[in-house]
Structure 1
């Protein structure tokens, strides 16, 4: 009876039924393991009953389109924080994001218990210039609560016509009260790669996010640094702090820039076509010169893939703090309505078989605040493992710990300016403690290592890779 009422109210029920059972019949047939294709009649009956009651008794008229799109979105979002139904408009916006040009304020965010957490502001954007930080909690957009709005709808509210303003109300961990930031929307033209010399022969390469052309730009940047240096570099610092990720292929190409051979990353999922392996072809653009990678809690996804490959291969020393832990693969499956299903189909694994998902990359050298309050702030930064509905990965690599710890000195009680590194500007060794220590390590100078609560000057060894040959 109830099912027949739903068929009358929504005549395209067969299409809905196929969506309820999977991402289309063709996709379920590709599963590597046995799939239960039985029809959940009891759940469908409950769904149809709810649908019918809303149509007849809800205080306002609700269109079939609104109800069905809500049902689809709810079904997909219940899986994990990164699966989503994309309307035709949202799909177009996502494509413009990966091209490196889009309208908005320049924030990478994630849904967190009904509101938004900032993964990272993108370099040079209105959000970064306004001082928004990784871990900030967005509770209101233009005075309206974000709670229960949903990720796609909230992001859509932050976007708008270029030149118009949007007001964000933020909660910062351990802050006494909310802060309000007014941002002017702009066309976000992201310069993915920036490079400069920190000292004679020592280069600095900053990647803010991974776009389609990032891999090519990375190799060109290294070549430019070598020309500026008058020959081969003595060492390079690759800065991936607050890099929220981006295009997988660009991350693979970037790791390949510094490797002669070997596995970069592999994926494992249920469907046969979700298992992939990516290997390096070389040549190493640095010719084996020492490499240090900087990461923090805002380093996610493709940034973690690059870091994991270079760390596991022994090609680079990793410094900073544990990364975000976004190690899942999303496949974009086009739908007949012009939109798409963004579906998590696999997990990433580093060359040594460690899953990034929920765990992140542990640095070889941890930079830890000496000040207890600042350390508490760092602990409060959002991690993938804290997101609602997060996928859990195998735990075989959870025991990894940093080999060395450097304590960051407590800043003055009343600093003249914000001591947080501004990635929109040129690197500043005076204010960027992590970068300054990384350069000392790269140059073979002693750095203050914490040993059983005592600071001991120590030369941290770099990976020995100069003798490598492609094979």
Structure 2
């Protein structure tokens, strides 16, 4: 009985400690503090004591408590998680654009690691790892039973060391074994190219600390020869990143101080409106990089490319430009990650990543589990098919859209070839047919074989013709 009381005090102390961390980080109103569920904690303590006294092998107290915290968070939604010291450090380093590993954005599905998107110019991307791939074994370790943090830790490692992933892929009769060589992942988040005819191409692969400043620099390079006839902003397969970077990128194309996005949650500091102003896109006392923006950047005709791999911060940018009618959104429906994660540090250099709010576009639309529906739907290939992609609405325990029901993710048959940019607006994924979309994506910037990009350029050229005839 003494052990039971001791275990109960330990559990209450740990739970209380988490609540106190949240209290100082996110809850200002003391009346919002929830009372501890004593009966449930007593049950928890009994389970803890049963494991400590009766499990076949001794188990460390810290391990049990850590797993309990991890389980609490991972069963809330796919994006809340416990970060041990290594995972917390990796998260901090990753936002700077450099980290070690193989280069994939992942989530957890049915106990397996599910690939959301490979990051461009990384070992995973070059080896042909695809969105939707299920990783069931890392080297000789089965993923089932591991937390997402543990699985990610196993995929990290010293540069030049090998790792073998065993993958289940839809459409493949047998599992795939892919051997990769780890390297230091240095993600160049912004790329650009001046296309023939006076059109610009700007690609954002992720939203890092310096992405906003990099966008302004690339725009300066694109506008250096003179005015552009049009600009394509490519956000396809961009898994997102930092909120302030998304606001900064939006500020490069929108009028000053205009609303970019808003968040809403249960606590007062989860409710916020983010505008195209330095206070919302700069962190610290950094110089305002928007001051170096070419004057025509906010006026040039724009098309934004998106697909099912466009998530989070990229959806914020696409939604803001769409709502303010600054650009035409072209491609396929985005991923639908419209939730805000707050990182709350804990003792021992650990932290929890907790979903605290939902994102909304300037018009008040919720992105969560719905995504951004393009103004013009164009599939990846001329035959009307796109790669079937994992979306937020497919993830286990995903947060619902509190504004409207999430659209059903269905498979639809391939459509006839499209001769010109289609104008029919619709949503939903399509069946993955065996065609050129199943090949490894071209590493060429603004490839001439890129069907969606060609349709975006055709649209810009058509807008140019219409404008000249006025």
Which of 389, 392, 408 matches 2:397? 389
1:280 partnered with 2:276: yes
Go from structure 1 to structure 2 and tell me whether the alpha carbon gap of 1:249 and 1:339 turns closer, same or farther (over 3 Å shift).
same
Structure 2 gap segments, 5+ residues each? 278-289, 409-421
Distance 1:22 1:366 in 2: 47
Please report how far the alpha carbon of residue 386 of structure 1 lies from its aligned counterpart in structure 2 after TM superposition: 1.4
1:404 partnered with 2:424: yes
Please report how far the alpha carbon of residue 374 of structure 1 lies from its aligned counterpart in structure 2 after TM superposition: 4.6
Go from structure 1 to structure 2 and tell me whether the alpha carbon gap of 1:21 and 1:7 turns closer, same or farther (over 3 Å shift).
farther
Q: Give the corresponding residue for 1:453.
A: none
Secondary structure, aligned partner of 1:278: strand
Q: Give the corresponding residue for 1:428.
A: 447
Kept in 2: contact 1:99–1:211 (CA 8 A): yes
**TM-score normalised per structure 1:** 0.85
Q: Give the corresponding residue for 2:352.
A: 341
Go from structure 1 to structure 2 and tell me whether the alpha carbon gap of 1:28 and 1:224 turns closer, same or farther (over 3 Å shift).
closer
Secondary structure, aligned partner of 1:73: helix
Distance 2:307 2:435 in 1: 25
The 5-angstrom pairing of residues 152-231 of structure 1 reads: 152-227=149-224, 230-231=225-226
Structure 1 gap segments, 5+ residues each? 447-458, 465-471
Go from structure 1 to structure 2 and tell me whether the alpha carbon gap of 1:223 and 1:36 turns closer, same or farther (over 3 Å shift).
closer
Q: Give the corresponding residue for 1:265.
A: 261
Q: What count of residue pairs does the alignment treat as equivalent?
A: 435
**TM-score normalised per structure 2:** 0.85
**Aligned alpha-carbon RMSD (Å):** 3.0
The 5-angstrom pairing of residues 11-410 of structure 1 reads: 12-19=10-17, 23-27=21-25, 29-30=27-28, 35=32, 37-227=34-224, 230-261=225-256, 262-281=258-277, 285-368=296-379, 374=385, 377-378=387-388, 381-396=389-404, 404=424
Please report how far the alpha carbon of residue 286 of structure 1 lies from its aligned counterpart in structure 2 after TM superposition: 1.6
Q: Give the corresponding residue for 2:458.
A: 440
Q: Deviations over 1:113-142 (max 9, x none)?
A: 211111111111101111112222212111
Q: Give the corresponding residue for 1:449.
A: none
Secondary structure, aligned partner of 2:340: strand
Distance 2:311 2:64 in 1: 34
Kept in 1: contact 2:27–2:269 (CA 8 A): no
Kept in 2: contact 1:368–1:405 (CA 8 A): no
Distance 1:444 1:320 in 2: 17
Go from structure 1 to structure 2 and tell me whether the alpha carbon gap of 1:64 and 1:373 turns closer, same or farther (over 3 Å shift).
farther
Please report how far the alpha carbon of residue 39 of structure 1 lies from its aligned counterpart in structure 2 after TM superposition: 2.5
Higher helix fraction (1 or 2): 2
